[in-house]
Amino acid sequence: MSTADLYAAYKTKMQKIADVKYAAAVLQWDQETYLPPKGNDFRGRQLATLTEVAHEQFTTQAMGALLNELNNKEGLSDSEKRNVELSLYDYNRNKKVPGDFVRKMSEAITTSYHAWVKARNDNSFTGFQQPLEKIIELKKQEADMLGYQDHPYNALMNDYDKGLTVATVDGIFSDLKPQLLTLLASIKNKPQVDNSFLHQHFDKDVQWKFGIQLLQQIGFDFEAGRQDMSVHPFTTSFNNQDVRVTTRVDENDFGNMTWSCMHEGGHALYEQGLPAEQYGLPLGEYCSLSVHESQSRLWENSVGRGLPFWLHNFTGLKTLFADQFKNISVDAFYKGINKVEPSLIRTEADELTYHFHVMIRYEIEKMLIDGSISTKDIPTYWNEHYKQYLGVSVPDDKRGCLQDIHWSHGSFGYFATYSLGSILAAQLYAAIEKENASVNKEGAEGNTSTILNWLTEHIHQYGRQYTSQELCTKITDEPMNIKYFIDYVTKKYQHIYNF
């Protein structure tokens, strides 16, 4: 068989496997948005079956033989060669995990997710502890199957960012933490800005309308996606022509939905920007979750909490909520939405204290996986470290260790990518400003297309062609560097707090 025919056969197989995976993704999206409660058990079965089928199809001997033969063939283009290399890497990694384990994990995740939802409603971690314990045990087994050096958590972080290790993240956090504490100390001694105007009554339907407008403004294509409601905002994609985002609305907190839309919109723009011709292949997938989070944090913070964005949008906002904002200037609004104050909820945290939320989760996950603590210890550890790191007392489990969906999904190794994404977002935005001197002026006129076009050209189009560090170096001429984030937040908060 010719090289072209072999590659065509490989592409067909990969796209059929993708069809199965994305069919499961549709069911999971429905599970978190519209599934009636009595459908939980059968939905778990359906997801487990599709997950197992996709895994079995990808790890057949025939697939392995095809990938190895292609990997040694001449005549492939650079992109074809890279697809095969990445698929072979994935094959060898997935081959270590048997299909019955994949099914068992999927079933456990479904049980865990519904237990988490109920536990949140009951405001009690107790109902989630045993299902989570099962997830932890399976994750430990998965780490052993995959293999690792130095720490079992490395095997799990590698799923979200290839090559990411405990040593790397520990080093970044040890550099970041004292610089954040210095900034927080400077702010603490200054008069606090007022954001009370964000905590009035904001009609749910009007908020929703505004959220749709924001998504449209930053370039989200509603012909290739939609927004719905969920307990925890998330983004999922079935292809670049069908990308779904969700949000949640609190009628007494304007910021809850607004920056959820911007954050998830950033994820969605990445998915919509991936090359359609690479559907089902590695180059049609995102680089890493650190890069994915850089997209959401860039749109949420560099853009969505930036003054230029609101110089354009604040007039329209005051039209929608005339009573709530009638005595508020755009400068007061800008300062209010960037108020630095330790809080309970990660997704609502300011750009400085946010990283302490991530550090706490990261430390808990590491210790759960290496056995230093067990699930019963989570609420106590959580509450003690929120008091130690942020100086806040956790009043209940819903606003404490039950606030995130990730553990119920089995997403261990994910949380560090939020901080890495914030760091990378600042570095990328600095590169955008360097190459496009008028970008902030355009933003003040309601035009964010330069930003989206730059991200599509420099990040989205490449899929998984590069690792996170390779991509960062290609774009900015250096690896990820916390200097850009520290410079960005220092400049921003010096202006807001006058220090």
pLDDT digits (tens, 9 = 90+) for 3-48: 999 999 999 999 999 999 999 999 999 999 999 999 988 999 999 9
Is 264 catalytic? The answer is yes
Token pair 């970044």 in the structure block, residue: 172
DSSP string covering 217-268? HHT--TTSEEEEE-SS--EEEEETTEEEEEE--BTTBHHHHHHHHHHHHHHH
Other C-beta atoms closer than 10 Å to the C-beta of 183 total 20
Among residues of the chain, what percentage have pLDDT more than 70? 100
**Rounded to an integer, what distance in angstroms lies between the CA atom of residue 161 and that of residue 48?**
25
149-163 per-position pLDDT tens digit: 999 999 999 999 999
3-class secondary structure, 353: coil
What Cα–Cα distance (Å) separates residue 383 from each residue in 135, 167, 190?
22, 25, 27
Helices vs. strands in the chain: H and E counts, helices first: 21, 3
276-293 per-position pLDDT tens digit: 999 999 999 999 999 999
Residue 348 has a pLDDT of 87
Give CA torsion, residues 455, 461, 465, 468, to 10 deg: 20
Selected catalytic residue, list 80, 264, 293, 351: 264
40-87 per-position pLDDT tens digit: 889 999 999 999 999 999 999 999 999 999 999 999 999 999 999 999
Least confident of 31-40, 120-129, 372-381: 31-40
417-469 per-position pLDDT tens digit: 999 999 999 999 999 999 999 999 999 999 999 999 999 999 999 999 999 99
231 pLDDT above the threshold of 90: no
**Rounded to an integer, what distance in angstroms lies between the CA atom of residue 438 and that of residue 429?**
13
127 pLDDT above the threshold of 90: yes
232 pLDDT above the threshold of 90: no
Residue 452 has a pLDDT of 98
Phi, then psi, of 253 in degrees rounded to 5: -150, 100
3-class secondary structure, 437: coil
List of residues 6+ apart from 80 with CB closer than 8 A: 7
Q: What integer best gives the mean pLDDT of the chain?
A: 97
CA angle 131, 416, 464 (to 5 degrees): 100
147 pLDDT above the threshold of 90: yes
Mean pLDDT of 355-378: 98
Mean pLDDT of 89-98: 96
Other C-beta atoms closer than 10 Å to the C-beta of 440 total 17
DSSP 395: -
Residue 347 has a pLDDT of 87
Residue 128 has a pLDDT of 98
State the pLDDT confidence band at 476, using cuts at 50, 70 and 90.
very high
Residue 14 has a pLDDT of 98
Token pair 């407008």 in the structure block, residue: 213
Phi, then psi, of 342 in degrees rounded to 5: -55, 140
State the pLDDT confidence band at 237, using cuts at 50, 70 and 90.
very high
DSSP string covering 474-494? HHHSSS--HHHHHHHHHHHHH
**Rounded to an integer, what distance in angstroms lies between the CA atom of residue 288 and that of residue 46?**
27
Mean pLDDT of 216-224: 98
